[in-house]
């Protein structure tokens, strides 16, 4: 496998001649929230809905904790 002289990370056999420039640029600009879940917890969160449900259940706890910390700081 020969690498390109101007970019050692690119192999000569890569062919971008049929690629569409900027195909995903708009979506990328809108932002992405891709998060990789570690294998040891994937069994408990098999899809995005289960992750979102778990995180939403933590929000009230986080708010209470933040309120307590703010009161202690006063």
Write the CB contacts of 13 (distance below 8 Å, at least 6 apart in sequence): 1
Mean per-residue pLDDT of the chain: 88
Percent of the chain past pLDDT 70, that is, above it, reads 99
Write the CB contacts of 2 (distance below 8 Å, at least 6 apart in sequence): 11, 12
The answer to whether residue 70 scores a pLDDT higher than 90 is: yes
Specify the pTM: 0.52
Q: Are 33 and 41 in contact (CB under 8 A)?
A: no
User: 1-34: per-residue pLDDT in tens?
Assistant: 677 778 888 888 888 889 999 998 888 888 878 8
The answer to whether residue 48 scores a pLDDT higher than 80 is: yes
Q: How far apart are CA 67 and CA 64, in angstroms?
A: 5
Bridge partners, residue 3, by sequence = 11
Q: Helix, strand, coil: what percent of the chain each, to 5?
A: 50, 5, 50
């Amino acid at each position: 496998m020969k690498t390109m002289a101007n970019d050692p990370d690119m192999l000569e056999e890569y062919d971008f001649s049929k690629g569409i420039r900027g195909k995903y640029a708009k979506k990328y600009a809108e932002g992405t929230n891709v998060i990789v879940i570690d294998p040891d917890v994937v069994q408990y969160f098999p899809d995005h809905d289960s992750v979102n449900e778990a995180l939403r259940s933590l929000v009230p706890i986080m708010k209470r904790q933040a309120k307590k910390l703010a009161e202690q700081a006063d």
